[in-house]
Amino acid sequence: MGIYKDCDIRGIYGQELDESTAFKIGRAIGSLVLGRRIVVGGDVRQSTPSLKENLMKGLMNSGVSIVDIGMVPTPVFYFAKNFLKADGGVMVTASHNPAIFNGFKIILGCMPITKEDIEQIQELVETNDFTVGVGEKEEVDVYQAYKVHIKKLLGHEGKLKVVIDAGNGAVSKLAPELFRSFGYDVKELFCQFDGRFPNREPNPAVYKNLVKLQQSVVETEADIGIGFDGDGDRVVFVDLKGQIVTSEESFVIFIREYLKSEPSPVVYDIKSSSIVEKEVCRYRSQPIMERSGHAFIKKAFLEHSAVLAGEVSGHFFFKELGCDDGIYAALKMCEILTKSKKDLVALTEGIEKTIMTPDIRITYPWEKQRDLLVKVESLKYKYPISTLDGIRVQFPYGWALIRQSVTEPCVTIRFEADHEENMLSIKKEFLACVPELYGLHEMLKY
């Protein structure tokens, strides 16, 4: 599939992505924005400084003026783009991917980047068809402005004891500082910058990466544990018993907080548990299902003027921000706990419990994947289906989803049901359409 994805550019540093490619990508982006002013930031990865430097050279050689905001979390980059009234931006990061990866999150104008934009950048890189110009560079520190902005939006202080697991990523300094400024008692875990991510992989949505956070919460008798990804736009929570709070459960808590005053559209990704849709409907609001992927969710979030959006990966979008922000989400969660005088255990107790599998990734040849989806689509004569992203089949007591991977030769399957008996029934009927998958993964056994 290469480094050019649907929502960003990303690959293994030194193999798929290097400084010369970064320079050309800068030239290509500069050729699209045509002499305007854009913000450039970068995360803590060891490869980021050199990739960022070459990207900026490429941008300036195409006539773009640069505002270099240094090493920042991605939410600060989003803030800086608006605060500095820039025409676009590039963040050098591979987000939640392991240390060997790096890449570019790109903003062109006001809306999220599209697949067509990425394809246009790729074409320019491959044809070397760049504009020529001389851009200027300035350096701006936006940390203090970001802190002031967040303080104005929240303002509520609390006394909770929190454990912050930054995973040695980009929020390692900023998150503890902000939480302490709100009065919270902070215990730091892996809050030293280290782009090798030596203590855990930078993806908190893979719950095994949060084992030490869970242990620390219990050992320190903390009220909440907070696990960030590598660039700070994702967050996962741990309750005072050391239990992971799923992203959908966290999202339900936000939904209850935001919809209690007035109805509003809420966007969620196709892989989310049914508890999200049900909760939005309970508040007589409009649930909007969107395909998985940051750019797709954000586009729907903005187009529908939604009050919230969320993904199972741990991205949470807020209307007052206009974007996703893991730091803000964590502070907002702590504000909710403080105001309600309830802990996370109590807040999640009343949320419906379902049985849900994680993503089941099955290696399968590219050329045969479409045949699988066609076979599953035959269930449309019996059940409602969605073709928004792959094939999602709505059974009476749950659903099944099969999607093609855009990055590797595999398909991804996920199931949800109200209890174990119906889970087995859904798996059985689903796999009857694609018996060639049975036995390829332990979780497909029924």
Question: From the first residue on, what is the mean pLDDT of each consecutive set of 10 residues in the chain (446 residues)?
Answer: 88 96 97 92 98 98 97 98 96 96 94 92 96 96 97 91 98 98 97 98 95 98 98 98 97 97 96 96 97 93 97 96 97 97 94 92 91 95 95 96 82 95 96 92 85
Closest CA to 125 of 137, 133, 117: 117
Closest CA to 334 of 172, 114, 133, 186: 186
Q: Which residues on adjacent β-strands are paired with residue 349?
A: none
Give Cβ neighbours of residue 14 (< 8 Å, ≥ 6 apart).
Answer: 47, 100
Which single residue is written with the structure tokens 């709505």?
Answer: 394
pLDDT for 407: 62
pLDDT for 316: 98
pLDDT for 342: 95
Which H or E run contains 298?
A: helix 294-303
**10 carries an active-site annotation:** yes
Which single residue is written with the structure tokens 């019996």?
Answer: 382
Sign of CA pseudo-dihedral 262, 263, 265, 266: positive
Which member of 31, 47, 95, 292 is catalytic?
A: 95
* Domain 247-349 belongs in CATH node 3.40.120.10: yes
CATH architecture, domain defined by 9-140: 3-Layer(aba) Sandwich (3.40)
pLDDT for 43: 98
Which H or E run contains 42?
A: strand 37-42
pLDDT for 406: 65
pLDDT for 322: 95
pLDDT for 110: 86
SS3 (DSSP) at 281? helix
Two tokens at 415? 């199931």
pLDDT for 1: 59
Closest CA to 325 of 84, 117, 81: 81
Report the distance separating Cα 444 and Cα 409, nearest Å.
18
Instruction: Please give the CATH superfamily to which domain 144-242 belongs.
Output: Alpha-D-Glucose-1,6-Bisphosphate, subunit A, domain 3 (3.40.120.10)
Mode of pairing for the β-strands spanning 323-324 and 355-356: unpaired
pLDDT for 254: 98
Domain regions of the chain by residue span: 9-140, 144-242, 247-349, 355-444
**294 carries an active-site annotation:** no
User: pTM, whole model, 2 decimals?
Assistant: 0.95
Domains 9-140 and 355-444 share a fold: no
pLDDT for 107: 95
DSSP letters along 312-379, please? TTS-EEETTTTEE-HHHHHHHHHHHHHHHT--HHHHHHTSPP-EE---EEEE--HHHHHHHHHHHHGG
SS3 (DSSP) at 430? helix
Which member of 294, 315, 403, 414 is catalytic?
A: 315
Which member of 10, 37, 45, 96 is catalytic?
A: 10
Sign of CA pseudo-dihedral 423, 424, 430, 434: positive
Closest CA to 317 of 406, 247, 245: 247
pLDDT for 85: 96
**Domain 355-444 carries which CATH code?**
3.30.310.50
pLDDT for 328: 98
